[in-house]
Amino acid sequence: MVMIKQKNYYGVMGFAAALAFVVQGLSGSPAAAAEYPPLGPLPKVKAQNPDQVELGKMLFFDNRISGNADRACVECHIPSKGWADGKDLSLGYPGTEYFRNSKTIINAVHAKYFYWDARLDGKDMPTQVRDSMTESHFMAGDGRIMHQRLKNIPEYVAMFKKVYNNESSFGRILNAISAFERTLVSRNVPFDKFIEGDKGAISAQAKQGYDLFTGKAGCIRCHNGPMLTDSNAYNLGVPHNPKIVSEVRRHITMRSMMMFLGVPAYHRLQKDPGYFVVTKEYKDFGSFQTPSLREASRTAPYMHNGMVPTLAAVVDFYNAGGGDHKDKSGMLKPLGLSASEKKALVAFLETLSGDPINIEVPKTSLPKYKAIPNWLTKKN
Amino acid sequence: MNYRKTHLKKMLGAISVAAMAAVLFSGQAMAETVTKGGKKFVKVDGELFPALQALTPPGIPKDNPQSVDANGWPIWEDPKVQLGYKLFFEPALSGDGSVPCVTCHKPDEGWSLSSSISRGYPGISHWLNSQTILNTANLGKLFWDGHKLSLEAQAPSAAQGLSGNGKSDMMEQRLYQVPEYRKAFKAIFGSDRNMVKDSWRAIAAFERAMNTPETPFDQYMRGDKGALSADQVRGLKIFEGKGRCIMCHNGPLLTDEKYYNVGLPDQPQFWDDPIKQAGHRSQMYSRGQPEYMFRKTNTHPGVYLSTHLKQDIGKFRTAPLRHLEYTPPFMHNGMFDDLEAVIDFYNKGGDKDRTLRDYGIANKTKRLKKLDLTDGEKADLLAFLESLSGDEHLLPTPKLPAPAVMTATESTFSRK
C-alpha cells in the first residue's frame, strides 16, 4: 500500500547503474535521453468539487486543526515560498522542531510517493494529510477533537453540510484538504509550452540547459518523466546538517519519528536514515527520494536537509560528482561542466516554474467559534 | 491497638450522648456505632457504614515498589519519589511541551485547580473539575467516573489525553535527551529505554508519598482528643448522624468509592463557552458511547461511560474529603465555590434529578433527604470539614535537569 515495490525498485536501480556505467564512457557509447521516460508536460488533473476545494482551502489555513490550535498546514507550506517554507529545516509542532526540509506541495497530486523518505503512497493523498495533521512532530492533531472544534464554527458546519450533506468528520476534513491540494498544480510553465512545441517559450540559454540536462550532465537519469523524478531513492552524499544533532529538539524529533518507524537503535541515531525506514536495508541508509524539479526555483534551500542554498550551488554539487559518502550512488561522477554550461542548466531549471500561486486566507478572516445555543436540548 | 480501643469507648460514649441530645432536640433518630467482625461501623437508617478512621499508610503495589518507614509511610527521600516529583513538573511529558501534570494540580491550589472546570490542553478545554492528588494512594478508583484503577494508570491517561496530548515516542526521546534523567532511570528502574512508562511509575510513587496524615481530624482519630475543637466534634457527630454524610463519605478515605447521582445543577459554563462544548463533546465522542447516547449527552453521563448501563447515567464517584479547604470549587462540575454551598446543597436534599429530566430515568440517590440543619449545625459541620484539611501542603518547584546535545561519542549508530 505504502512502500516502493522492492522488485521494481531494484530493477530500476540495476538498470540505472548499468546506464551510469555506459555514460561514464567506459564502453564508448554516450547516454541516450531516449532511454529514460521523457520530460513532458504535466498530465491533466481531474476537476475537483469547487465547494470541497473551498472548504479544504480554509482548513489548510486554519490552525484549529492542529493539536494545540497553534499550527496550520500553511506554516510549512507558505504560498510566497513556493508552498515550501524557505528554511533549511522546517518548523515542526510547538515543543518540537523538524529535521528535514519542507517540500513544496505544488503538483503533489502527481507524486508517486510522499515525503523525502518516500514512506507514503502518492495515490493516497488523504493519508499524507492525515500523517501531517496527526504526527507528534507536525501538527499533533486529534481527529476527534478537531471534528468537535469545527462543529462549534457555524461557517464550517454549513460548508460540510453543503459539500458532504453531513456534519464534519476526520475523514471528511482529510478529503477536503486533499481536494484543495489537488488543485495546486503548476500553470503556464514555460518548459511545458516549449515541450509542447512553442520553441520560443524558453530562452536559447535554457534550451542549452535542457540539452545538458538530458545529455552531458545526465540529470535525466533520475529526474525524468513529467514530474522530473524517477521517484527512486539515492544516496548523493549531501553534507550532513549538523543542526539535526546540535539543536536538541531536532535530534529528539528525528529519534522519536525513527522509533515510531521501527528503526533499530533509534536512541543512538546521529544521521537521518532516509529511505531505510521503508526497506530496512542498510544499503538504503541515507538515501532519499529524487524530488520533482518543478517549481524548484521558488523552493530554496535544497536537498532533504536544506544544505544546498541555491540552484547554482545544486549544479555545482552535481558537477563535483556529489558529496563525499562511502555509500554514495555510483551514478554520480564529476561532470566537467563549464561556467556557462552551469548557468545554462540553472536557466533551464528556472523554466520549470509556472505562475506563482497566490492564495491567502488571512487568520483574521477565518470564521470564529460560537457557542451552540440551547445547549441542553441540542443534539450533539 | 490499645489507643484505638480506648478511643472507641470514648467515641461510643460521645455518640450516645449526642444521640440522646439529638433525639431530644430534633426528634430524629441518630447514628449508633456497631462493631462487627472487628470492624467499626456507623448505623444510619438501619444500614451499616464503615466508621471514619485516621488515614492509613498507602498500599505499595508489588510491581512498583518504593521504600517506606517503620510505620509504612513512603520515604520522601526515595530516589523514585524524588524523580517523580521532578517529572510531575516536567513539561516534556506533554504534547507541545507546555502542560506538565502540575498545570492542573497546582501546589497552592490544593494540588488541584481553582477553576470550576479544569483547563485542558491548549486549544481545547477539560470537561470536569480537577481533583487533588493528595491522599490518593489508597483510592481504588481514579477520576470522577472512576475509570482508572491505579495511579500508574491515571497519570498516562491524563498526560496523553485531552489534558496533555502527549505522544509517547516524542516524550520518550525528550527525556532521553536529558543526561540526568538517563542516569536516574537507569539507577531506579534498571533501564533508560522505557522512560515514559517508568515515568508514570515514578509519578505514582511521588503521589503515594503525598499524604496529609497529620490533620486535626487524623490526630483526633488516633486518640488525641484535644485535636478537634468542641464545634468540630459536634460537626463530626452531625457528619455521622443527622447530616447523613457518612452514608457515602466513610472509612479512612471518607469515600465509599461508589457512584451516585446527587442531583447537581448543570454547569452553565457549557452553555456559552464554545471550547468547553467542543471539549465536552470530544470526550463523550472518544469514550465510545453508542451514537444515540453521544448525540444527547450534553451533560457528563458519569460512570455510564464505563458501564454503558442506563441506570448509571449521571452517577459520579463519591469524592474523598481530605485537604478540602484548599480545593474549591467542589463537585465534578465545580458548581459550588465554597463548602457552605455544598452543605446548603445537601441540607435541602440535593437538587432535581437531571437524569430523569434528560433520559427519563429516575436514579437520584434515595439517601439524600432534607436535613433541616440549623445554622449552628451547619457551622459545626463546616468546622469539622475544615479539620480534614490541616496545614496547606506546599512544595517548591523542583529544579528540572536540562537536555544536552548527544554527540556521536556517546551514541553512534553502528552498521552491520
Asked if pLDDT for residue B296 goes beyond 50, the answer is yes
Asked if pLDDT for residue A11 goes beyond 50, the answer is no
Cβ-based burial of A294 (10 A; exposed 0-12, middle 13-18, buried ≥19): buried
User: Strand pairing of B259-260 and B316-317?
Assistant: antiparallel
With residue B32 as reference, give the H or E element that holds it: strand B32-36
Number of Cβ pairs < 8 A linking chain A and chain B: 159
pLDDT of residue A367: 97
Domains A6-43+188-240+279-350 and A50-186 share a fold: yes
Asked if pLDDT for residue B5 goes beyond 60, the answer is no
CB atoms within 10 A of CB A335: 18
CB B272 to CB A371 under 8 A? yes
pLDDT of residue B32: 84
Instruction: List CB contacts (< 8 A) between B416 and chain A.
Output: 282
Integer Cα distance of B314 and B236 in angstroms: 29
Residue of B nearest to A261 (CA): B169
pLDDT grade for A25, boundaries at 50, 70 and 90: very low
What pLDDT digit, counting tens, does each position of A83-117 carry? 999 999 999 999 999 999 999 999 999 999 999 99
Asked if pLDDT for residue B75 goes beyond 90, the answer is yes
- With an 8 Å Cβ cutoff, is B298 touching chain A? yes
pLDDT of residue B232: 97
- With an 8 Å Cβ cutoff, is B161 touching chain A? no
From the list A251, A257, A265, which residue is nearest B177 (CB)? A251
Taking residues A195-217, report their average pLDDT: 97
- Residue A66, min C-alpha distance to chain B (Å): 9
Q: Which three cell numbers stand for residue B330?
A: 467542589
Omega before A41 within 30 of 0, i.e. cis: no
Q: Most B CBs within 10 Å: which of A62, A134, A136, as the mutation test of the B interface?
A: A136
For the stretch A42-70, what's the b/e string if a residue is b when 16 or more beta carbons lie within 10 angstroms of its beta carbon?
beeeeebeeebbbbbbbbbbbbbbbbbbb
What pLDDT digit, counting tens, does each position of B257-281 carry? 999 999 999 999 999 999 999 999 9
CATH architecture, range B232-386:
Orthogonal Bundle (1.10)
- With an 8 Å Cβ cutoff, is B413 touching chain A? yes
CA max distance for chain B: 89
Nearest to A379 by CA among B187, B292, B141: B292
pLDDT grade for B41, boundaries at 50, 70 and 90: very high
Task: Using the Cα atoms of residue B285, residue B286, residue B291 and residue B294 in order, give the sign of their dihedral.
Answer: negative
DSSP, residue by residue, B298-339: -S--BTHHHH--GGGTTBEEPPP-TTGGGS-SBSTT--BSSH
- Residue A153, min C-alpha distance to chain B (Å): 9
How many Cα atoms occupy the beta-carbon half-sphere of A338 within 13 Å? 3
Q: Most A CBs within 10 Å: which of B169, B186, B197, B275, as the mutation test of the A interface?
A: B169
From the list A95, A252, A259, which residue is nearest B96 (CB)? A95
What pLDDT digit, counting tens, does each position of A133-158 carry? 999 999 999 999 999 999 999 999 99
For the stretch B257-293, what's the b/e string if a residue is b when 16 or more beta carbons lie within 10 angstroms of its beta carbon?
bebbbbbbebbebbbebbbbbbbbbbbbbbeebeeeb
CB A269 to CB B167 under 8 A? no
Lowest mean pLDDT among A30-39, A155-164, A330-339, B250-259: A30-39
DSSP letter at A289 equals E
Residue of A nearest to B294 (CA): A380
DSSP, residue by residue, B120-135: -STTSB-SSPPPP-TT
A319-A310-A326 Cα angle (round to 5): 45
CB B98 to CB A285 under 8 A? no
Compute the residue count for chain B: 416
Pick the CATH number of B79-208 from 3.30.1330.10, 1.10.760.10, 3.40.50.150, 3.40.50.920: 1.10.760.10
- Residue A372, min C-alpha distance to chain B (Å): 7
| Contact (CB, 8 A) for A330 and A235 | no
pLDDT of residue B288: 86
CB B358 to CB A376 under 8 A? yes
- Residue B117, min C-alpha distance to chain A (Å): 16
Taking residues B389-407, report their average pLDDT: 95
Asked if pLDDT for residue A29 goes beyond 60, the answer is no
DSSP, residue by residue, B37-83: TTEEEEEETTEEEEPP-PPPPPP--TTS---B-TTSPBPTT-HHHHH
The ipTM is 0.88
Angle separating helix axes B179-189 and B195-208, nearest 10 degrees: 70
Taking residues A108-134, report their average pLDDT: 97
Domain regions of chain A by residue span: 6-43+188-240+279-350, 50-186
- With an 8 Å Cβ cutoff, is B288 touching chain A? no
With residue A233 as reference, give the H or E element that holds it: strand A233-234
Contacts 24+ apart (CB under 8 A), A187-192: A187/A354, A187/A355, A187/A357, A188/A354, A188/A355, A189/A41, A189/A42, A189/A294, A189/A351, A189/A352, A189/A353, A189/A354, A190/A351, A191/A39, A191/A348, A191/A351, A191/A352, A192/A41, A192/A42, A192/A354
pLDDT of residue B3: 35
What pLDDT digit, counting tens, does each position of A326-373 carry? 889 999 999 999 999 999 999 999 999 999 999 999 999 999 999 999
- With an 8 Å Cβ cutoff, is B197 touching chain A? no
DSSP letter at A379 equals -
Instruction: List CB contacts (< 8 A) between B404 and chain A.
Output: 248
Name the average pLDDT for chain B.
91
Nearby residues of A208 by Cβ (< 8 Å), 6 or more positions away: A341, A344, A347, A348
Lowest mean pLDDT among A24-28, A246-250, B28-32, B289-293: A24-28
Asked if pLDDT for residue B385 goes beyond 70, the answer is yes
Asked if pLDDT for residue A380 goes beyond 80, the answer is yes
pLDDT of residue B19: 45
Taking residues A34-43, report their average pLDDT: 89
- A-contacting residues in B 251-270 (Cβ below 8 Å): 266, 270
- Residue A273, min C-alpha distance to chain B (Å): 10
Question: Where in chain B is CATH 1.10.760.10?
Answer: 79-208, 232-386
What pLDDT digit, counting tens, does each position of B213-247 carry? 999 999 999 999 999 999 999 999 999 999 999 99
| Contact (CB, 8 A) for B304 and B313 | yes
Q: Which three cell numbers stand for residue B143?
A: 477520576
Cα separations in angstroms, B298 against A48, A374, A376, B146, B339: 37, 10, 6, 20, 26
What is the topology classification, in CATH, of domain A6-43+188-240+279-350? Cytochrome Bc1 Complex; Chain D, domain 2 (1.10.760)
pLDDT of residue A18: 42
Contacts 24+ apart (CB under 8 A), B70-77: B73/B209, B73/B211, B73/B213, B74/B137, B74/B205, B74/B208, B74/B209, B74/B211, B75/B209, B76/B209
pLDDT of residue A34: 60
Integer Cα distance of A191 and A188 in angstroms: 9
Name the average pLDDT for chain A.
91
What is the topology classification, in CATH, of domain A50-186? Cytochrome Bc1 Complex; Chain D, domain 2 (1.10.760)
pLDDT of residue A295: 97
| Contact (CB, 8 A) for A356 and A298 | yes
With residue B282 as reference, give the H or E element that holds it: helix B274-286
Task: Using the Cα atoms of residue B21, residue B25, residue B27 and residue B31 in order, give the sign of their dihedral.
Answer: negative
pLDDT grade for B410, boundaries at 50, 70 and 90: low
CA max distance for chain A: 83
- Residue A380, min C-alpha distance to chain B (Å): 4
Instruction: List CB contacts (< 8 A) between B275 and chain A.
Output: 149, 152, 369
Q: Which three cell numbers stand for residue B277?
A: 462544548
CB A256 to CB B172 under 8 A? yes
Q: Most B CBs within 10 Å: which of A375, A378, A379, as the mutation test of the B interface?
A: A375
- Give the distance, in angstroms, between the CA of residue A375 and the centroid of all CA atoms in the same chain: 44
- Residue B318, min C-alpha distance to chain A (Å): 25
Provide the strand spans (E) within A69-208.
113-114, 120-121
Instruction: List CB contacts (< 8 A) between A235 and chain B.
Output: none
Taking residues B28-37, report their average pLDDT: 75
- Matching residue, cell 497529620: B214
- Residue A265, min C-alpha distance to chain B (Å): 7
Amino acid at A69: A
Amino acid at B30: M
Nearby residues of A73 by Cβ (< 8 Å), 6 or more positions away: A59, A60, A61, A65, A132, A133, A139, A177
Nearest to B374 by CA among B243, B236, B240: B243
